[in-house]
């Protein structure tokens, strides 16, 4: 692995933690007799700096809700999850809590002792217990990123580190990755000055990473990418094009305004609509979505059975 | 006040809370015999959407550390602080805690009861106690924003609501406000497509708000703006130009790389360098900075004495 080009952050947070995660993980054979399944869930948006000494950047809207929620269901389904997430976005097991849970859920008694407010006590206790249990048992490894540069280098590192799992590895690429960026060499060194009128910017396209992931980094893994559009008329067409062009196993198509209610899973043979169904007590669209993906992943593993130990 | 153009978020979070803050605040005469001092601290960066159904936006780098830290020292100095901050940035009294204090500082006992880890217990208890005490006593009102549109409308509302305080109001404008934006009418409705090669964007300048704040919204208030540059050679010149052009009372000049160690306060008669001094047990550059500003604010109040009740 080429470590020379990785950032300091990646080396510190990424490589050592990934290695020790795999070293400490239970042996690959699990209770079902098959090899252990690992999913890399990417979550949140990446940033693109506009200046080398960065004051301004372009960001992609993404709360990380999809990735955090999906991570919970993957853990419940017995997967070991590598949660590659944008710093500050939603965390698994914490989505029912307010933005700033420490200040909003606790109260101070006599100016020193603290206590969870009654209305939050169940949610707070469950969040901490379930999160710590998942980490402790080796079902959850959290790795943070901010820029597109960090994101892509860490993704490559994870893909190469899990390539020995063959078809048992899944990539669930829910992060909102920048399409455009300013190449480092052509970036202004100092803060762009505002005195001289309107600003004209030319942004280059970020090289497409999905073909490299498919062909070089993780050729046998089960790959799921996401397509988000605001215009429903072009969504399915673009999702299908991405499936074929990048040889994904599935593309999850979602529209900005309805993405928490419904998604369409596009495969080479069918389009499957997955809906949240309040009446049947299903809280999240991610619950039936992950059930569907886990089943299809089993099929993927069986049809690549030379890799099952 | 023109409420028609305010966003729903501003109406809900802003107006009602500001009104009730002032209604519940103690009478203006305080223990020093003078009128109560109020400071509006702005903190964190503003975003500029690039699409109406926003997927991408330009953001300004700002952790909100300066604003959160300064708020603590203003509260200690007896000010009522309106903390107008970017969602998700540093909060007053919480800066010694990790990014995600709920998950990192607590542990779960027997799968349900939770407890602060010993190493964090003092910091967590102090943060919650001091924060809640400041809010309860009417010394701290927190109002969040995300976009430049929310920021400017809330700032106007605060300035108009505090104009009856005359020189006793201070504005400490530490937020990193966008210089460039895409006007709403010329914004793409849908997500910008990446298929057609590099992206050319023309960004317009955000109208300068400081002259309006000075001349119309808060003509008698003590106004402090900030100038951040990465190039030290142009910093003081630009700070001085802003002081004169926008008729600020002071401009705090800071350079990106040294901003936690040293700032230069530029006034019409002098440039005052303020340094963090570890040897004298001074933890933050904000400690001596706020001391300096509080003294100058007293002078400002005295020279505008017709407003002191």
pLDDT classification of B6: cutoffs 50, 70, 90: very low
Beta bridge partners of B58: A58, B48
Q: How far is A309 from chain B (nearest CA, A)?
A: 34
Tokens 């869930």 — which residue? Answer: A41
CB contact under 8 Å between A51 and B230, yes or no, is yes
pLDDT at B231 over 80: yes
Provide the percentage of residues in chain B whose pLDDT is more than 90: 57
3-class DSSP state of A183: coil
Q: How far apart are CA B150 and CA B226, in angstroms?
A: 20
**Cβ contacts of A75 within 8 Å, gap of 6 or more:** A81, A92, A134, A139, A140
Q: Is the dihedral of CA A255, A260, A265, A271 positive or negative?
A: negative
- Interface mutation target, options B90, B189, B201, chain A, most CBs of A under 10 Å: B201
Task: Identify the closest residue of chain A to B61 by CA–CA distance.
Answer: A55
pLDDT of residue B9: 38
> Radius of gyration over alpha carbons of chain A, in Å?
21
B303 touches B292 (CB < 8 A): no
3-class DSSP state of B116: strand
CB contact under 8 Å between B194 and A179, yes or no, is yes
Query: What are B268-305's pLDDT values in tens digits?
Result: 999 999 999 877 666 899 999 999 999 999 999 999 86
In terms of average pLDDT, the best of A11-15, A27-31, B24-28, B140-144 is: B140-144
> Radius of gyration over alpha carbons of chain B, in Å?
21
pLDDT of residue A179: 86
DSSP assignments along A200-213, one per residue:
EEEEEEPPP-HHHI
pLDDT at B219 over 70: yes
Q: How far apart are CA B304 and CA B309, in angstroms?
A: 11
CB contact under 8 Å between B94 and A88, yes or no, is no
Residues of B in contact with A91 (CB under 8 A): 100, 103
* Backbone torsion region of residue B33, taken as left when φ is above 0, otherwise alpha when ψ lies between -120 and 50, otherwise beta: left
Task: Identify the closest residue of chain A to B101 by CA–CA distance.
Answer: A102
CB contact under 8 Å between A55 and B256, yes or no, is yes
Residues of B in contact with A229 (CB under 8 A): 190-191
pLDDT of residue B56: 84
Residues of A in contact with B59 (CB under 8 A): 47, 56-59
CB contact under 8 Å between B102 and A97, yes or no, is yes
Query: What are A258-308's pLDDT values in tens digits?
Result: 899 999 999 999 999 999 987 766 689 999 999 999 999 999 999 986 644
What mean pLDDT comes out for the span B223-238? 91
**Strand B271-275 with B56-60, pairing:** unpaired
Q: How far apart are CA A43 and CA A143, in angstroms?
A: 10
pLDDT of residue A29: 46
Query: CB burial class (10 A; 0-12, 13-18, 19+) of residue A284?
Result: middle
What mean pLDDT comes out for the span A202-208? 84
What mean pLDDT comes out for the span B141-146? 96
CB contact under 8 Å between B194 and A176, yes or no, is no
A15 or A252: which carries more pLDDT confidence? A252
pLDDT of residue B7: 39
Q: How far is A133 from chain B (nearest CA, A)?
A: 8
**A39-95+139-192+199-306 sits in which CATH class?**
alpha beta
CB contact under 8 Å between A102 and B94, yes or no, is yes
pLDDT classification of A188: cutoffs 50, 70, 90: low
CB contact under 8 Å between A112 and B94, yes or no, is no
Task: Closest CB to B203: pick one of A189, A191, A199.
Answer: A199
Query: Domains of chain A: which residue ranges?
Result: 39-95+139-192+199-306
Query: What are A76-110's pLDDT values in tens digits?
Result: 999 999 999 999 899 999 988 988 899 999 988 87
Task: Identify the closest residue of chain A to B146 by CA–CA distance.
Answer: A61
What mean pLDDT comes out for the span A166-193? 83
Q: How far apart are CA B308 and CA B302, in angstroms?
A: 8
Q: How far is A93 from chain B (nearest CA, A)?
A: 10
Q: How far is B15 from chain A (nearest CA, A)?
A: 21
Tokens for B252, please give them. Answer: 């705090």
In terms of average pLDDT, the best of B30-34, B99-103, B172-176, B228-232 is: B172-176
Q: How far apart are CA B97 and CA A72, in angstroms?
A: 26
pLDDT classification of B204: cutoffs 50, 70, 90: confident
Task: Closest CB to B55: pick one of A61, A107, A203.
Answer: A61
Query: What are B46-78's pLDDT values in tens digits?
Result: 998 887 666 788 898 889 999 999 999 999 999
Residues of A in contact with B46 (CB under 8 A): none
């Amino acid at each position: 692995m080429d470590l020379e080009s990785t950032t300091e952050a990646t080396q510190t947070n990424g490589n050592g933690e990934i290695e020790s995660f795999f070293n400490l993980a239970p042996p690959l054979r699990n209770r079902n007799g098959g090899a252990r399944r690992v999913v890399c869930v990417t979550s949140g948006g990446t940033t693109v700096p506009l200046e080398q000494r960065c004051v301004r950047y372009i960001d992609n809207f993404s709360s990380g809700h999809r990735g955090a929620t999906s991570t919970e269901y993957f853990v419940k389904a017995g997967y070991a999850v590598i949660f590659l997430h944008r710093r500050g976005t939603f965390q698994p097991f914490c989505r029912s809590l307010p933005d700033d849970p420490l200040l909003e859920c606790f109260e101070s008694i006599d100016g020193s002792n603290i206590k969870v407010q009654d209305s939050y006590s169940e949610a707070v206790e469950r969040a901490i217990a379930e999160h710590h249990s998942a980490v402790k048992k080796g079902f959850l490894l959290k790795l943070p990123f901010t820029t597109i540069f960090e994101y892509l280098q860490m993704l490559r590192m994870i893909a190469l580190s899990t390539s020995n799992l063959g078809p048992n590895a899944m990539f669930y690429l829910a992060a909102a990755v920048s399409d455009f960026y300013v190449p480092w060499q052509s970036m202004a060194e100092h803060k762009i000055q505002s005195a001289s009128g309107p600003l004209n910017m030319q942004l280059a396209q970020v090289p497409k990473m999905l073909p490299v992931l498919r062909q070089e980094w993780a050729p046998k893994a089960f790959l799921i990418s996401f397509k988000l559009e605001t215009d429903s008329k072009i969504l399915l067409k673009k999702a299908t094009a991405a499936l074929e062009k990048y040889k994904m196993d599935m593309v999850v198509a979602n529209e900005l305004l309805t993405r928490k209610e419904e998604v369409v899973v596009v495969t080479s043979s069918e389009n499957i609509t997955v809906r949240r169904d309040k009446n049947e007590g299903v809280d999240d669209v991610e619950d039936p979505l992950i059930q569907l993906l886990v089943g299809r992943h089993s099929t993927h593993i069986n049809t690549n059975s030379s890799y099952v130990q």
